[in-house]
Homo-oligomer: A and B are copies of this chain.
Amino acid sequence: MLMELFDRLFPINRSITGEGVRQSLSILNEVVPISQREYPSGTECFDWTVPKEWNVKAAYVKDGQGRTLIDFADNNLHLMGYSIPFRGYVTRTELMEHLHTKPELPNAIPYMMSYYKENWGFCVEHNRLHEFTDDRYEVMIDSELKEGHMTFGEGYIKGSSDKEILLSTYVCHPSMAINELSGPLVQTMIYRYLLQKENPKYSYRFLYLPETIGSLLYLSLHGEELKQNVVAGYVVTCVGHGESFTYKKSKRADTLADKAAIHVLKQSGKPYTIVDWNPFGSDERQYCSQGFKLPVGSLMRTMYGEYPEYHTSLDNRELISDEAMQETVQMYIDLIETLEANETYECTHIHGEPKLDKRGLYPYMGGTRTKAEKHRILAITNLIAFSDGSHDLIDIAEKLNVSGKDLREAANLLEQSGLLRNIKEIRYDLATLMG
């Protein structure tokens, strides 16, 4: 299903506004319910303004003999994003001022855009520059920049709590594969999984945004609600290829989002890299800005800027794989299930150890134990010892080097027997912090 969706989405000319976004969201809406929300050009979002809506019918460059050298119909990367309408003849010198190549990757069409300054341009493979020998060229850009709308997609699953987990990806990139179609595809599969999950504890929000301006718009509309409700969030991007995972921490670095992601990666046994938050990347830049400081990181595979084909036409179907995307979906599911299972307890019996055997939680007879018994006893005794309201299941699992969600069964047993009380929200132990 992933690759079929990919093949339908890939050719569409997406940008931060325009029909391409709407078409892409409609296709994904066949799989999961995505509301399309629209805000008019000129809408202010903090320091930024929603730009005009951009759509393209056709664009080409022809040489003196009328031969088509560049055609938007061949690859929508040929036209610089947000190119204004233009029709006329230009000299070679004039053309060259509007022609962009990437010399270090001569077979690639680079990805260029000029959202906030009116301009036009074409992008072409560097090793095709030799074809541009004529003195005069016909340039035709049948595009439109109008007072229209910016569109973004949103999905929401209501859980038992208003506290929510946020997944955010972006739908503004034209025909590229890792960055970006892998993000919306993977996010959609996670969303589909969660639709089928019974009684989720958390609510889930799925944003499909134009990058940067979209998250700024969303924050300007709902930032205070997100501050209130988001317990963990992840930007889903660059999830289509690579041997290992990359987790980029939230700016606060010590949030539940970070703790859970690093725990799950560690327990997965798969290779991974942790990188600090920095102001290069995607919408975690906005989510983590000083006014919001949301607990939002980004769980990726090989990330933006770390593979040579980044932001060029070579970032295409050949680079990604269904397998890598499925593996990422599974890692996100593990992460979400760990967050779902995670709770903070305090032990109700604090003077010495409670007597476990009389509650059926411990074998009556001393002696050797099976491995399963040992694991259960390990979980139970450590939960009792460390559940003091300032350690959640993930913290205790880290001490034992086991998976946090694997402690939940023992925690349930202990809660049923009255030995643990779920305190809902972690309490930081000031005395411990102060030494």
Contacts and interface: CB of A to CB of B under 8 A. Distances in A.
A278 to B, nearest CB: 7
A265 to B, nearest CB: 21
A83 to B, nearest CB: 11
A433 interface: yes
A36 interface: no
Interface string A346-364: 0101111111011000001
Contact of A353 (B286, B384, B388): B286
A428 interface: yes
Nearest to A251: B385
Interface of A: 45-48, 80-81, 100, 102, 110-117, 119, 121, 212, 215-216, 219-220, 223, 251, 254, 276, 278-280, 285-286, 289-292, 347, 349-355, 357-358, 364-368, 381-382, 384-385, 388, 399, 428, 430, 433-435
B352 A382 contact: no
Q: Which of A215, A280, A365, A384 neighbours the largest number of chain B CB atoms within 10 Å of its CB?
A: A365
Contact of A381 (B113, B280, B368, B385): B280
Contact of A352 (B45, B80, B113): B45
Contacts of A434: 428, 430, 433
A364 B117 contact: yes
A357 B116 contact: yes
B114 A350 contact: no
A291 B119 contact: no
Contacts of A286: 352-353
A358 B116 contact: yes
Contacts of A366: 81, 111-115
Identify whether the interface residues of A are mostly helix, strand, loop, or mixed.
loop
Nearest to A428: B435
A347 B276 CA distance: 20
Nearest to A287: B352
A434 B390 CA distance: 14
A45 B430 CA distance: 31
Nearest to A387: B290
A289 B419 CA distance: 14
Given A102-B368, A367-B112, A216 B385 contact: no
Given A48-B355, A114-B364, A114-B366, 11 more contacts: A46-B352, A47-B351, A47-B352, A110-B367, A121-B365, A251-B385, A276-B399, A279-B385, A285-B385, A289-B353, A291-B352
Contact of A279 (B291, B351, B384): B384
7 contacts: A116-B355, A117-B357, A119-B364, A251-B385, A286-B353, A290-B350, A291-B350
Contact of A113 (B292, B365, B433): B365
A381 B279 contact: yes
A289 B364 CA distance: 21
